[in-house]
Amino acid sequence: MPEAASAAASDLLAEARERTDALLADWAERLEREIGGRQGEALSYALRTPGKRVRAALLTASYRAAGGSLPAIAGVAAAVETVHTYSLVHDDLPCMDDDDLRRGRPTTHRVFDIPTATRVGYLLVPVAARLLAVAAGELGVASGTAGAMARELFQAGGIEGMVGGQWLDLEAERRRLPLVELIAVHRGKTGALIRAACTLGGMAAEADAPRLAALTAYGEDIGLAFQIADDVLDATGTSEELGKPVGRDAQLAKSTYVVLLGIEGARAEAQRLARSAVAHLHKAGVPSGALGALAGYIATRSS
Residues contributing to the site for ligand GRG (CB under 6 A)? 51-52, 54, 84, 87-88, 90-91, 96, 103, 162-163, 166-167, 189-190, 227, 230
Burial 183-220 (b: 16+ CB within 10 A, else e): bbbbbbbbbbbbbbbbbbbbbbbebeeebbbbbbbbbb
| β-bridge mates for residue 105, sequence order | 102
Amino acid in the structure at residue 214: A
User: Are 73 and 63 contacting, i.e. CB atoms less than 8 angstroms apart?
Assistant: yes
Tell me the CB-side half-sphere exposure of residue 81, using CA atoms within 13 A. Answer: 32
Tell me the CB-side half-sphere exposure of residue 275, using CA atoms within 13 A. Answer: 6
**Rounded to the nearest whole angstrom, what is the least distance from the CB of residue 36 to ligand GRG in the complex?**
26
Burial 19-49 (b: 16+ CB within 10 A, else e): bbbebbeebbeebbeebeeebbbbbbbbbbb
Rounded to 5 degrees, φ, ψ at 105 are -130, 160
**Rounded to the nearest whole angstrom, what is the least distance from the CB of residue 273 to ligand GRG in the complex?**
15
Secondary structure (3-state) at 256: coil
Residue least distant from ligand GRG (Cβ): 51
**Rounded to the nearest whole angstrom, what is the least distance from the CB of residue 86 to ligand GRG in the complex?**
7
Q: Residue 111 or 213: which CB sits closer to ligand GRG?
A: 111
Q: Residue 52 or 275: which CB sits closer to ligand GRG?
A: 52
Residue 52 to residue 62: CA distance in whole angstroms:
17
**Rounded to the nearest whole angstrom, what is the least distance from the CB of residue 213 to ligand GRG in the complex?**
24
**Rounded to the nearest whole angstrom, what is the least distance from the CB of residue 253 to ligand GRG in the complex?**
17
**Rounded to the nearest whole angstrom, what is the least distance from the CB of residue 170 to ligand GRG in the complex?**
6
Residue 63 to residue 1: CA distance in whole angstroms:
24
**Rounded to the nearest whole angstrom, what is the least distance from the CB of residue 66 to ligand GRG in the complex?**
23
Q: Residue 52 or 110: which CB sits closer to ligand GRG?
A: 52
